[in-house]
Amino acid sequence: MRWRYAAVAGLAGLSLVAGCASDGGSTAASATSSAAPSTANATAAHASAPIVTTPVPPPPDPFAGPSQDVNAAVVAGRYSFTSPDGAFRCAIVSASGAHAGGATCQGTTAPIPPRPATCAVAQPWGDGMQVDDSGRVGYLCGTLPPAESAPIVADSVIHALGFTCVAHAGSTYCRDDVSEHGFRIAPDSHAVF
């Protein structure tokens, strides 16, 4: 009888173990599941965590400022000015014959790109930048003819002949008003937009 109880107890134990095994399977699955959900929960928690962003104000518009329409000061289809620091001599010219209208600033800037084949070796290269009335922007090949020009007041915006220019401390900007393409030029840098 003892053996029977032992056998019955053993069978009961097996049932219990089997139950545990099936529970253990779910316990194992639970352990696996609980490990996976905690990873999933951590991932979900990470993914659902609010993203905090700090708004960055847009860069200031270089062409914002007191505006001057200087078309009345255009002499022979040209308006000339010098940047406040004297580093750049600029001109806004109207279209004439085969020549496009444009805004040009001449002065030393760096770095200068390689000379294109279209600029003759005898011509100075890269001593300034220009934008024409079709919105093309490039470096000067040649020099501006001398012209009377007065320094402009820093940060004042000049509108003439379909172009807008402004000279800030250290940088001069010019653009074609229709395309809004133009350039920024400074002694140690330059950009096209």
Residues 6+ apart with CB under 8 A from 152: 81, 82, 83, 84, 158, 167
Please give the residue that has the higher pLDDT: either 56 or 26: 56
**Do residues 109 and 128 lie in contact, with contact meaning Cβ atoms separated by under 8 Å?**
yes
pLDDT in tens, 65-115: 667 777 777 888 889 998 988 899 999 999 987 788 999 999 999 998 899
Q: Is 8 helix (H, G, I), strand (E, B) or coil?
A: helix
What lies within 8 Å, CB to CB, of 134 at 6+ separation is 100, 176, 179
